[in-house]
Chain A
Amino acid sequence: MKKPLLRASSLASPKQQHNWDWRAASNFIAGGAGGGLLLWASVVNASADATRMAILLGLILIGSGLTCVWFEIGRPWRALNVYRHFATSWMTREAVVALGVFAAGGLALLTGAFALSFLAGILGLTFLYSQARILAANKGIPAWRHPRSISLMIATGLAEGAGFLVCVLSLSSAAVGFPVLAGLIALIVVRALFWKSYLGALVADGAPDATLKVLSGIAPRLLVVGHILPALAVVAAMAGMPGGAVLSFAAGILVVAGGWFLKFTLVRRAAFTQGLALLHLPVRGQGTAGAATKPGWKTVPGVKAG
């Protein structure tokens, strides 16, 4: 099939990024959830078996995310350069923290010591924070660089971690306790509020039209699948309805699915580049400068959309 001609003018508009595909997105999707799960596994008073299962799952999630991103990088056999040529980027910090996560988590699995579980949990939270900062440091993608993306990424990672923990607990012999379910509801509410805050700030502060269209488009589905349905399931389980374990499991899965849907959309579909801006058009001959232009963006103060 003949490719459509790429017009020079279209190069000026924001373009969807294609350098980080599903493999890079998987690192944020699985790794963030794994970090959140490690944290909650370390602070929730569950049985030893359930705690071990949760820690193992958290390590698998983080490990699979990092493996995916390893397959994405252009020179995978040079990955150790991150440690050999130490920098201060958040990606470096993520890589360093990952070593600590696997060391503390692995030892916690072997020994069952609370101190090691707690350390793995703190490092899991640090891993999640590092991932949020990696996205926010990318100034070329307006949807990521907004400061509120940090709190959103952390909020969804924590909610997904709690969702996974509820799934693990509902599969184990012990019932999911009231405090855990209440905590899950609180995290669902917090994530919903941070999502609303992020989207509102992005609209107010400006972002490429295509980014806003994609993010606004998923808002209703995210609200229903990722927030309302799991909250209802948790409330039903807390109210003592029959099949409490099934309801809890379903709630956990929906919270995770909502978060993964959100992160995949943010990292892949809504990730449009900055594009270009002409603050002043050139003055030629006796003419006057035309109006400023910023293709692909709605009107923002001082700059007219193209």
Chain B
Amino acid sequence: MKRYVMSIDLRRCVGCQTCTAACKGANATPPGIQWRRVLDIETGEFPDVQRTFLPMACMHCANPPCEKVCPTRATTKRADGLVAIDYELCIGCANCVMACPYDARSIVHEAHYAYGDTPMASEAARFDPDRIGVSMKCSFCVDRIDLAERTGQIPGVDPEVTPACVNSCISGAMEFGDIEDPESSVSRLLAQTQHYRMHEELGTEPGVYYIWDQS
């Protein structure tokens, strides 16, 4: 049984937002919608302050609260651990948006473009009407994961089948792979470092691990 997860090394992230841009490019999300965000958090009091960059997206939880509240089975957890949305089934009730403790989901009720009502050529070409009025979120670039099933390539190793954010990271802060495979890069990295998952106390069993120190 596979379970694809992502590790993010907070020590390496420099807050460049390249992953944010790569996600927008790969998934053509509308203006104002970011499936991937990098938060800039300042803590402490002068002069003892610290700045931390925190990449956030859907955590692809093993126990996803969004799936439990979906009234139409539009949100489902796949066998490989990805939490997927069927845009054809979703009624846009936003219950899953309320259920997600990671603020990872959003709904766009009307088409918006970067420069008003008229889309640029690139926006028009990639506009997906199926995404209007329904819930959407990071998919771990599910089309690439599905491609791996057909080609035999390995997500996290072969760039063609690895999420765009991971491919784009300039500091190598992100790893992606099957945590059930002890030889995967993500499994080996997690074995060597100290890490945590966000809001674990809520029982969601998120699939994104934040590395903060060596073992």
Interface presence of B69 (CB below 8 A):
yes
Which of A184-217 touch B at CB < 8 Å?
none
Chain B, residues 46-64, CB within 8 Å of chain A (1/0): the string is: 0000101010100000000
Residues on A with beta carbons closer than 8 Å to the beta carbon of B156? none
Interface presence of A2 (CB below 8 A):
no
**Interface size range on A against B:** 35 or more
Which of B90-136 touch A at CB < 8 Å?
90-95, 97-103, 107, 109, 132-135
Chain B, residues 66-106, CB within 8 Å of chain A (1/0): the string is: 00111111100000000000000111111101111111000
Q: Report yes or no: A12 in contact with B41, Cβ–Cβ below 8 A.
A: yes
A87 with B73: in contact, given A73-B92, A78-B91, A282-B213 (CB under 8 Å)?
yes
A282 with B89: in contact, given A137-B65, A137-B99, A290-B50 (CB under 8 Å)?
no
User: Complex formed: what's the CA distance from A11 to B97 in Å?
Assistant: 16
**Interface size range on B against A:** 35 or more
A85 with B213: in contact, given A91-B71, A141-B98, A274-B199 (CB under 8 Å)?
no
A-B contact count (CB 8 A): 174
Q: Report yes or no: B91 in contact with A283, Cβ–Cβ below 8 A.
A: no
A74 touches which of B42, B92, B194, B199 (Cβ 8 Å): B92
Interface presence of B39 (CB below 8 A):
yes
Stretch at the interface among A13-21, A53-61, A98-106, A158-166: A13-21
B94 touches which of A11, A15, A20 (Cβ 8 Å): A20
Residues on A with beta carbons closer than 8 Å to the beta carbon of B204? 139
User: Complex formed: what's the CA distance from A283 to B194 in Å?
Assistant: 10
Q: Report yes or no: B68 in contact with A89, Cβ–Cβ below 8 A.
A: yes
Chain A, residues 218-242, CB within 8 Å of chain B (1/0): the string is: 0000000000000000000000000
